[in-house]
Amino acid sequence: MSLLVATGNKGKLHEFRSLLTGLRIRTPDDVRLGNLYVEETGDTFYDNALLKAKAYATASGLLSVADDSGLEVDALGGRPGVQSARYGGRELDDSGRYRHLLAELIDVPPEARTARFRCCLVVFSPDGRLVTAEGTCEGRILMRPSGEGGFGYDPVFLVPAYGRSMAALSRSEKSAISHRGRALRSLLPVLTETFPALLSN
């Protein structure tokens, strides 16, 4: 039995593969769904993850997992939240989005820049069964970007336990504390209990 990971984001795919070891992972390109677009119209991370997981399971006939993740900044009332991937306008790239965020926080002192990454995972099967998990990673927004790795808002997200930005962590350090890593570790036992055929490959 295969698990289709409903994303074309290479960084996310790497995290899924590294943490869901022992499972047969397939990507949208593997099943000719690389161009499938799902509009994220939900009000919550769960809503959007469910929309994507359902769409890919229906289109592929495969058990599908989708995540919706984002950054919640307390000084901005939880923004960008579900708009994290589109914050500041769809035309912006990762750098443009985090620079837009930094501009919004220009007058906010370091101690008030608390934030968290949140990830919601939804697994949906063609027969309608559903499994979910969530993970968070607490931190603060830096005054300026730091680090060369990661993606998204990683360069401006300080991980207090390491004293470095998420973008300055190694892959193993990041997977140990990231919101997606925590969500995936929480998901795995429930996923394999609900769908034991995943372990038969």
Q: For the chain, give the DSSP string.
A: -EEEE----HHHHHHHHHHSTTSEEE-GGGGT-TT-------SSHHHHHHHHHHHHHHHHSSEEEEEEEEEEEGGGTT-BGGGGGGTT-TT--HHHHHHHHHHHTTTS-GGG-EEEEEEEEEEE-TTS-EEEEEEEEEEEE-SS---SSS-TTGGGEEETTTTEEGGGS-HHHHHHH-HHHHHHHHHHHHHHHH-GGGGG-
Q: What is the pLDDT of residues 124-156, one digit of tens each?
A: 999 999 999 999 999 999 999 999 988 899 999
Whole-model pTM over 0.75: yes
**Predicted confidence band at 76 (pLDDT cuts at 50, 70, 90)?**
very high
pLDDT at 166 over 70: yes
The pLDDT value recorded for residue 11 is 78
Across the range 55-71, mean pLDDT stands at 96
pLDDT at 201 over 70: no
Q: What is the pLDDT of residues 80-89, one digit of tens each?
A: 999 998 999 9
The catalytically annotated residue of 30, 43, 68, 107 is 68
The pLDDT value recorded for residue 14 is 84
The domain containing residue 37 runs over which residues? 2-200
CATH number for the domain that contains residue 44: 3.90.950.10
**Is 94 known to be catalytic?**
no
**Predicted confidence band at 165 (pLDDT cuts at 50, 70, 90)?**
very high
Specify the number of domains making up the chain. 1
pLDDT at 12 over 90: no
